Structure 1
């Protein structure tokens, strides 16, 4: 009865395109009101209890730092620097998109803003260079997802707060996973450009490379400060996020001088609204997860897999399939907040570490951003480049296939993502 009511309400809410936080809180309210004797006055308390987490404070700070750097002229400097390094190689401009998204993600941690900041410059350049509109749409939209895999990653912060896993270890695992994605995409760029005989750009001179490096130097200091301070024991992930805001403001206002104080205030307002949207979802999903536990739904879902004593290979396949399917319909944070409490006991029971599950889940939910019908990046790209939704989906499909290959590598060759964190966290299995 409870299960039918819960999933029936969820299905109706999704079909009617009701905002997800209303679907989750409304479902929890109706289930508690009709099937339990628990006082409804407890429900608002559970919403706020889900937000009382020190690691979650990092999210608004990282969002603010990302928006400051995005508005502060960093994207054009990054593109110029990467193009000087690889622009002359086969598929050089395509590889420039991928590598720039990796570096921009290491600074901003956002996929949607990466499409706007990087795609706005490189999409027309790709078309002009002979890559074609479909290739250009596909690579920009899909490469942007690396921004949420490479640290800092808000998805990993949310996962770490739910699963009580070291956020530092998750960030380190994201480096290997992000590189795996980038390599798969870049190999495709090289092969595609050779097959389609795309002209190469000229090789940059040493002086041009040096000038571009000097221009981008201060922007690249952001990930160095965040990761260096975090793993050097200078500050926690939340404190690193706060430091990144100060650093980003100094670089963009004082050094680059492309952001004035009124502009900085606008960025703060935008970041506050973006943070509120995410944290409302966190609170709503926390209530929903608590409802699943109180009503026994979590245990009833987990029990069949615990009884089967399934192998890690099967469990990881099930996790990937479930998370990818959920990502077609719900956003990144809802996906994590709903599924992690259910899947964590299944994974640990099969001998899968919380860190390995964290990177697998983070990659899965991020891929939901380019998965139709409701992938966020698909709508962002459609609006940014003034293209129809269908044309964006068709352009992304080959890259979605490549993303599945990268996901399989990360899932079944765990050393790709876990080797680096194991060097600093020997207790990881």
Structure 2
């Protein structure tokens, strides 16, 4: 009964527009008052949730992304992508998707991708005659590729929660992320051909090579992260600090676009983003502690397994549940609350924790472009100055591809586990 009060209050607060973090906090506070539990449990539980050395990687990766972006990274990645695919029908839309793939190794978050790429690409697409809804849809859905590739903040969160190798999680998301990007490129091309969207001129090899060299120092950041972690040279947290130093050198001395006067603003933005994430993690940990104390994980596991113990249908039920949650809840909050709840169910049907982590992140990423709380959907539609409904209509074929990839990744574990197995 008390658990229903907790969850019901949380959902009600979300429905009336209270931010996720404060909805978690207020629902937890109400529960503690009614249950008569001392409020000293709040700081204790929140601190235990964020008192992790691994979580220090979050502000460092955010800062590295901000430094690279301020240093001219976005423009160079877009130029390289445009040089490679811009001559194909719908070239600017394809460039949008390809840019998101390249930018994934810099930001680690889908929302950063949407904001950075969308602010440049959406006006350019509209100017060349692409529909506003289509421009927003391509930008929104392609940004979901980012968290599947390193450095991925959701993967860092999962590694903290499950005590599994973050390096393995980074590798495990690579093939699913590339499959997702490939599917989006195919859909974008088919729609562009059907609608007769424009194409650019084919670039010479020298132009392609020059654009590649321009983006090379930014793209190599992913190699540094994986080489350092998998080679045992440094931890994920240390890798993040190395990336900050690398970003300072590349932005300040190679690209020469990062100025000393930019640093205070970038630090302030990093602190703001980090504070909001860690506050969310802290409140979600409190909420999750209450759920565990109420025995909700056991109830959920028993509930799912009482319906069926067939692994195929158990996985399907978890995917459906996560897709529904992703429509309403922010990704990190959903991970902190639901990963410990669903992991025992997943392992009971033979899913590897790394595999389940990838499936969960991929499922929740799709929710970032779905109403009613799809933040990437809102940001892209805002840049395109188009109604949400129009963007959602254009997103339908992309959703179909995303679901197909999700099902493939869910039921073919080797798509996730093949690359990590090579480094065992």
- TM-score for both structures, normalised by structure 1: 0.94
Q: Tell which deviates more after alignment, 232-241 or 300-309.
A: 300-309
Q: CA deviation at 1:100?
A: 1.2
Quick one: distance in 2 between partners of 1:91 and 1:192?
Answer: 8
Q: CA deviation at 1:61?
A: 0.8
Alignment correspondent of 1:191: 190
Contact 1:173 1:420 in 2 (8 A): yes
Alignment correspondent of 1:272: 271
1:12 counterpart = 2:12: yes
RMSD, aligned CA: 1.7
User: Which residues in structure 2 correspond to 1:189-268 (within 5 Å)?
Assistant: 189-268=188-267
Structure 1: gaps of 5 or more residues: none
Deviation sequence 1:144-201 (CA, Å, 0-9, x none): 1111111111011111111222111110011111101011111112222332333432
1:145 counterpart = 2:144: yes
Q: Tell which deviates more after alignment, 296-305 or 73-82.
A: 296-305
Quick one: distance in 1 between partners of 2:23 and 2:191?
Answer: 43
Q: CA deviation at 1:353?
A: 0.8
Contact 2:187 2:398 in 1 (8 A): no
Q: CA deviation at 1:263?
A: 0.8
1:28 counterpart = 2:23: no
Q: CA deviation at 1:78?
A: 0.9
Quick one: distance in 2 between partners of 1:136 and 1:40?
Answer: 48
Alignment correspondent of 1:320: 319
1:370 aligned counterpart, secondary structure: coil
Quick one: distance in 2 between partners of 1:75 and 1:243?
Answer: 20
Q: Tell which deviates more after alignment, 207-216 or 234-243.
A: 207-216
Alignment correspondent of 2:176: 177
Structure 2: gaps of 5 or more residues: none
Assess, with a 3 A threshold, how the Cα gap between structure 1 residues 385 and 129 changes in structure 2: closer, same or farther.
closer
Contact 1:286 1:337 in 2 (8 A): yes
Deviation sequence 1:229-271 (CA, Å, 0-9, x none): 1111111111111111111111112221212112111011001
1:335 counterpart = 2:320: no
Quick one: distance in 1 between partners of 2:377 and 2:366?
Answer: 11
Quick one: distance in 1 between partners of 2:316 and 2:188?
Answer: 28
1:399 counterpart = 2:398: yes
Q: Tell which deviates more after alignment, 222-231 or 20-29.
A: 20-29
Q: Tell which deviates more after alignment, 406-415 or 243-252.
A: 406-415
Quick one: distance in 2 between partners of 1:281 and 1:155?
Answer: 13
Quick one: distance in 2 between partners of 1:41 and 1:198?
Answer: 60
Quick one: distance in 2 between partners of 1:304 and 1:113?
Answer: 37
Quick one: distance in 2 between partners of 1:38 and 1:125?
Answer: 56
Alignment correspondent of 2:355: 356
- TM-score for both structures, normalised by structure 2: 0.95
Quick one: distance in 1 between partners of 2:227 and 2:346?
Answer: 31
Alignment correspondent of 2:371: 372
